Structure 1
Amino acid sequence: SIYARYLNNNESRESEDFICRCTTKNTFGRFCEYICGQKPGNTYKTFYELFEESLSKRLDDGVLAYNPIRQRECYSLRRTCSALCLDWRDLCDGEWDCAAGEDEMYCEHLDLNECNENQFRCRNGLCIPIEWFMDSRLDCVDATDEQRKQSDDHDACYSMSSIDCSEVACGEKQAYSCGDGQCLSWHERFYKDRTPFCKNGLGFFGICESIGFVTTATGGCSSGFFVTVTNMSVPCDQLVRCAAVADRSCTSNDVENLQQHALDYCFRNMTHGYLYSLPNILSPFVDAYFTREQFESDDEDATRLPALFCSSDKAKCLHFHDVYNEKYPFPPFEYLFGQQQSLPDYCLNSNAFYICPNTHKCISNYRLLDGFDDCIDRSDENPNLQRQLNSKFTRHRYRCAIQNDETILPHLLGDGNNDCSDGSDEFEFTSDRIINWREEDCLNLDDTICRLIRGDAILYVDIYMKDLCDSKFDLQHSLDEVDCGPEWICPKDWKKGRSQISGSCLHQSRFQDGKYDFLDGSDELHDDAPCIHGPHPWLKCGSNHSSEIMCEQFGDGNINCIGALDEQQRLTCGQSGALNNRFYCRSDSRCLLISYICNGVLDCSDGEDENELLCGPRGGCHNESFACLDRAVNGKCISSERVCDGKKNCPNGRDEETLCWWR
């Protein structure tokens, strides 16, 4: 091996050989992730032993121990931040990393880039052929051409060499990009347990102090800063840093004594504290500080984080938790500490740019009403902006079902967040269609759901007239049970429900028959009775799993009961239609057949399908069987396949009652 020869002889014999230069002695590898001679309790006898054990650890543990002090590829701009190492994702991301804003210069040209009619415009302004929009393959660098829930799973990227990983940016300033496709919320920048939240080790860039290293001028980590502390006579900035991180390079074994000495000797006359890392690493407007209060705290990890953020002129300081706060949609350094900048002339063109009220920052009109917060006060997502906006800025958007002036990028559909104020991007219920976007995945170009998102789905389905508005959901998305309002006349011996949500027709024989047919279940209640369901042996709803639930909670799109038994006709199971007589696992978003319920086997990851409130005790029955519970001890057990088969197999008939809520 070239590496082995180089490490043994400190030279390369072949002139054509290429060796990656790592800054730390005895480290090597593509990312300087291997360390020679540090096997616990021993040293590696050969290079191959080292390689074999490192590979084994990677395969067995699924973890590759990256070296936090390794270098990364970077852009170095010439003027005010020539030393700072910037990732390409830091350029034109709407957040200043350089004091003079060099990393955001000329970005307005990209912001205003206009795509052709036969192209889809990615959020970052680049264009792709319209045929690539919602085709299940990532083509936009920011992944906005596909559903976010399909593009968010990049946890394995750190161990792969894939363009789908290395070429992905993470929603610009709203998220932190690890550099290989893994994305994290911006406010997760510091982790209390000091584990690298980026699996590739780059999560410590600019905050190396949180793991006992020192941030260099480029933002990378170095272990060569600390001096040996023997007589407490070192400069205070080094002493405080050494006491804060309790680094192994500090030879004082008495960390508490070292920290007390820092308190007594260094913090006596300090107004703010000592720099946490080099100035302007986290933001060109901010310095971070260690403070006296950190060393007085009983929390061992308190000193690993900066306690105070101050503007560069120290005119304004804020506590750590006042800055790293989820109430802000992105890092608020510029908003909280930045100097007011004069607006460029191009921002005055209201036909192309919008000025955020609180910060006087200007953004392209393409960024309005897209579901992403670009203004710190989120004013760029105000539906009232739609009236003054040229329609070209909102092409290929999803219109929220109730608030039609609200639009978002289809990228956000079903991602678990209510980006539409009416929540229709997660569960859409209108007179035209019912779609649970959380369960609908665009996986193939010709999938119906992909075509629905693109707007080119024209569906022709043959269905008998008698099957329309009959309270049976025959078509996907319940299309056969919409528009069943007062104008729809029921056949003879059929009648409508008493509420708007139960507007379909139902045969008289199916009222009060023990089976719910209307969305709100009101067919099982007398007309003069309050619209409250319960008690039932199988209906366990609410936080306390009581046996009662209001009619308006039935079929409202929100799961209130174990197994989603209150949403049998609203929830869909992928391409297989409504939930109907199946059981819904909330933890896995899966639909289970009745034979899998109360059979002693945990099919839902959280065990919801075997909840004792629903199933009762097992009574000694083996797995994959159903407990009749006909006797207190040694009751009858039957095969789970015989549950709800129309025959009473249990002496007490429990197999045809408890779980057979739907026929």
Structure 2
Amino acid sequence: MLALIERSHAYVLLYNTETNDLWEYSDCAYYNSRYNDTIKYCVRPRNTSAAIECANEGEKWLFTDLLANNISPGDVLSWSSSIEVADNYAHAFYNRSTVFSADTFLCKCTNNMSFGKHCEYSLFNAFTIEAAIQLQFILKFNKIANHRWAAIVCYETLSCDFGLLCLDWRNICDGEQQCMDGVDEQNCDKLEFNECEENEYRCDLDCMDHSDEPYHNTLVCFTSPADFECDERMGPRTVWSCGDGVQIVPWMRLPYQQIIMTGSDCSNFRNLNYICETSRYVAAWTLPNGMCEFSRNYDDPRFDGTTANMSSMEMCVYLLKCGLTDGFERDCPCGRNTSCYNLMISYCPNPQWIQYPNMGLIRPYVLTYYIAQESYSDKTPAYFVFSGTIQCRGYRAVASTNMNITILSNHVPQYILSPYKDFYFCLNALIEKNTSVSIKYFPVTCWNDSRTFLNHSYNYIDICPNFQQCISAYRINDGDIDCPHGEDEKVEIATSPCAKIQRHRFQCSPLQKTCFPVRVLGTGERCTNKFDQYVYGTGKMINSISCKHRNDDGCRFLKTYVEESSKKEKNVSSIVHSIETIPHRFYCDSHWDVYPPTDEKTEFCQEWTCRKQWFRCKTHQCIPLKYVCDGEWDCSDASDEQAIFSYKNVLDINQDIQNLSNIIEKNCKKPYLKQPYSNFCNISNEYPCLLANVTNPLDIKRNRPCINLALIGDGVYDCYGGLDERNTATGCQKRMKGFDFPCENRQYCIPLTTLCTRHCPNNEDASLCFHNRKNDACNGFDDANRNSRIRIQVADFPSGENTLGSVVQYYDVNDINMNLIPRYRQVFHEMPSDFGFDHNLTQVPILAVL
């Protein structure tokens, strides 16, 4: 069932129930997901005849009886039958002269969980479709349990020989032939070489690949009912589709490979279908439908460990599966610390050529064979054999098993990792090349002498002449490798191949004429000047710019950034400034809201006006009065804490604040008189801390642990670890430094959360960790030992918008009473990816340990 719901009290509204054999789907319900999708869940056509009576204890009501009892259409609608049936009855109800058959009836679904035209459907442990679908996705969090009752999702509109694993709709026109004879790639040139009008945007793949959007994938499609983001999403050609919107790295398509050990399986285990025994990560057994069983000692009814009901080949494959899984199935006669080799030698017709699975899987024309072995620590097939036909440029490649066209062992790793498996087939020297005019194959000229539907010439450059398919010149230097050897991304030409659409493609520089769609930006350093990673080389990272809706500030900026990239003259400062625009109230408030933190520069804040009853720092920043002497530096120069003692004219500058002198006396002088090292320092004009730039900071007799208060926030590290510049220096993640520890080699930085568990290359953080072990106070750095950093997020939802904006406030836990002290704030235009977010609590402050 596909899916969408409309919740109406406790009954189900079912649509499209009056169908015929030409319909691709019927019996649809609609669901409004939290991702603002309206998802339609329908039933595909089935060969079984439709029920003619009422199922699941449903009551049959003739129209004549309904009218006689004066039952209203509203009552009928609440019976969870169907919209069309209720509509037909409403027509008869309000037009009593309507003629209808005497046996016309509808069903009243009396079971709270049943619904449908004939009450033939039942909800899954729920009373509404909405609840049933939500429960279904909740259950998917247990991937293995879900796998037991799930099914392989197939695209059935195109009928072809696809081997064992059915097509995903994303396989159509993806550049790889998943059907024999290349049926799934037939006529795809009409998309590939299509030319757009001046006012149109050229997509890579019908824009279902989000080539017109910046790259972001925050949804877990396996457990999220999101239609556009998942069900209708395509990935780039370099990934393998799991069929539900999730993509995995291509080498994980072959779960047995041991060349690259990183990567993960599909959440729905589609990459394991029909070869479950070959997984490196999880023990499993292939069921008759291709799905996997994950419970060891599973009893497969097809096998009982004897040859009574099996042919020699079936017994051979059974023993191979036992060997691959260490005797996973209950009746396996070997595999549990016993080799299957001798039994395989006895039963297998040819122990050196054991075909498994029995049909093509990674491609319909690629068959895999195993050898009888003592053990299978490496579950990679011994042979990959070509048998079938596909389309190539100028001919159709033909191979059969008796031709013994096998990938040689020294090429197996390269073949396994390559996403261009058709390329190996087309260029194999042993294949037959069928050039008959009566069959279809890709033309040698790639239609270079043809015209498009709009009468444009094909934009074609023969950049990869040995490739089996034709690619448009728009793919040259677009950030994605299309040719098997990457020739399309190594082109140096005077004229940009995407000149016609350059305003929609990002150009790195006049010397590096690239044609990147916006989704490529921020995904890797392809530009030599790094402009695809950072806005014109500034500290602003492209992937930090939020673009969710076309009218977002971030989306408008990215559009401008792309359009301006190919212009000879561009106003760089204006473009950079446009993305650094923040709300007026965020300036000079002591929090970094942009990076670099130009919003907090002292020279910009000189004339800033503070709100009433807010405290003006010596730096002219403005903070709430309650933050003064609360134990946490808010002002860049600490003039709200220790440095308030050297803040001349503090009362005059803050004369609007009543009783400020009493606040300073009570909250500042008394607490700070007992600071660590206060016996060494003059608290009225000095700040106690271990010194930087000395051989041994711990030798406080030689290196008096005091600095002048005026040195705080001056941009120079005077305290060990830059403690005096905690609110002016940059930390490990391009935000306010805080208590992060900067190593002498500035390529390294230790976040507060990993202090004394990670170390600098030269071990200059040893003094800090010594103090932590000794439990000595060292002013501030003892916070690294006893304080936990915490952040609270308040999610703001602007009226009339769907965009999630959020402000994350960071706190320290100051003492054993768990008092929260505000540290600094960060502004996000979307939910931070590492933040623990509960979708059910979006209106409530959320607490999470950093």
Taking structure 2 as the reference length, the TM-score comes to 0.46
Q: What is the distance in 1 between the residues matched to 2:149 and 2:494?
A: 47
The answer to whether the aligner puts 1:335 opposite 2:402 as a matched pair is no
The answer to whether the aligner puts 1:165 opposite 2:246 as a matched pair is no
Amino acid paired to 1:67: R
Amino acid paired to 1:72: V
Q: What is the distance in 2 between the residues matched to 1:402 and 1:326?
A: 37
Amino acid paired to 1:228: D
Q: CA deviation at 1:251?
A: 0.9
Q: Select 1:147's aligned residue among 214, 217, 230.
A: 214
User: Residues 407-458 of structure 1: CA distance to partner in whole angstroms, max 9, x if unpaired?
Assistant: 322211122x33346654235666xx66543544445656665444312687
User: Residues 106-160 of structure 1: CA distance to partner in whole angstroms, max 9, x if unpaired?
Assistant: 1111222333333322211x3xxxxxxxxxxxxx311212222x1x333354343
Q: CA deviation at 1:262?
A: 3.7
The answer to whether the aligner puts 1:227 opposite 2:303 as a matched pair is yes
The answer to whether the aligner puts 1:582 opposite 2:723 as a matched pair is no
Q: What is the distance in 2 between the residues matched to 1:62 and 1:233?
A: 34
State percent identity of aligned pairs: 20
Q: Structure 1's 582 and 104: CA in aligned 2 closer, same or farther, altered over 3 A?
A: same
Q: What is the distance in 2 between the residues matched to 1:614 and 1:326?
A: 48
Give runs of aligned pairs for residues 116-195 of structure 1, distance below 5 A: 116-124=197-205, 126=206, 140-148=207-215, 150=216, 152-172=217-237, 174-191=238-255
Q: CA deviation at 1:400?
A: 1.9
Do the aligned residues in 1 keep the contact of 2:276 with 2:284 (CA within 8 Å)? yes
Amino acid paired to 1:238: E
Query: Could you say which residue in structure 2 is the equivalent of 1:291?
Result: 371
Q: What is the distance in 1 between the residues matched to 2:374 and 2:123?
A: 42
Amino acid paired to 1:110: L
Q: What is the distance in 2 between the residues matched to 1:77 and 1:65?
A: 28
Q: Structure 1's 263 and 278: CA in aligned 2 closer, same or farther, altered over 3 A?
A: closer
Give runs of aligned pairs for residues 142-541 of structure 1, distance below 5 A: 142-148=209-215, 150=216, 152-172=217-237, 174-191=238-255, 197-210=265-278, 212-214=284-286, 226-230=302-306, 234-246=310-322, 249=329, 251-255=331-335, 257=338, 259-266=340-347, 269-271=350-352, 273-292=353-372, 295-297=373-375, 299=377, 302-303=378-379, 305-312=380-387, 313-314=400-401, 315-318=404-407, 322-323=411-412, 325=414, 330-338=418-426, 343-344=442-443, 347-349=446-448, 351-355=458-462, 356-385=464-493, 387=495, 389=497, 391-392=499-500, 394-401=502-509, 403-415=511-523, 417-420=524-527, 423-427=530-534, 435-442=540-547, 445=550, 450-455=555-560, 459=574
Query: Could you say which residue in structure 2 is the equivalent of 1:505?
Result: none
Q: What is the distance in 2 between the residues matched to 1:235 and 1:349?
A: 55
Q: What is the distance in 1 between the residues matched to 2:164 and 2:320?
A: 26
Q: Which has the larger radius of gyration?
A: 2
Do the aligned residues in 2 keep the contact of 1:400 with 1:425 (CA within 8 Å)? yes
**Contiguous gaps of at least 5 residues in structure 1:** 3-10, 21-27, 35-50, 127-139, 463-473, 480-534, 539-563, 569-578, 622-626, 644-663
Q: Select 2:766's aligned residue among 612, 616, 625.
A: 616
The answer to whether the aligner puts 1:638 opposite 2:788 as a matched pair is no
Q: What is the distance in 2 between the residues matched to 1:166 and 1:56?
A: 14
Q: What is the distance in 2 between the residues matched to 1:29 and 1:309?
A: 45
Q: What is the distance in 1 between the residues matched to 2:484 and 2:181?
A: 21
Q: Structure 1's 252 and 428: CA in aligned 2 closer, same or farther, altered over 3 A?
A: same
Q: Structure 1's 92 and 267: CA in aligned 2 closer, same or farther, altered over 3 A?
A: same
Do the aligned residues in 2 keep the contact of 1:428 with 1:434 (CA within 8 Å)? yes
Q: CA deviation at 1:306?
A: 2.9
Query: Could you say which residue in structure 2 is the equivalent of 1:66?
Result: 147
Q: What is the distance in 1 between the residues matched to 2:781 and 2:292?
A: 59
User: Residues 368-410 of structure 1: CA distance to partner in whole angstroms, max 9, x if unpaired?
Assistant: 2211111111112233356373512544111124742233222
Q: Structure 1's 109 and 59: CA in aligned 2 closer, same or farther, altered over 3 A?
A: closer
Q: Select 2:56's aligned residue among 12, 20, 27.
A: 12
User: Residues 210-237 of structure 1: CA distance to partner in whole angstroms, max 9, x if unpaired?
Assistant: 3644486x96679968422225994343
Q: Structure 1's 332 and 604: CA in aligned 2 closer, same or farther, altered over 3 A?
A: farther
Amino acid paired to 2:201: F
1:352 partner SS = coil
- Structure showing greater relative contact order (alpha-carbon pairs closer than 8 Å, 6 or more residues apart): 1
Amino acid paired to 2:182: G
Q: What is the distance in 2 between the residues matched to 1:421 and 1:448?
A: 27
Q: Structure 1's 56 and 365: CA in aligned 2 closer, same or farther, altered over 3 A?
A: closer
Q: Structure 1's 593 and 83: CA in aligned 2 closer, same or farther, altered over 3 A?
A: closer
User: Residues 468-508 of structure 1: CA distance to partner in whole angstroms, max 9, x if unpaired?
Assistant: xxxxxx996899xxxxxxxxxxxxxxxxxxxxxxxxxxxxx
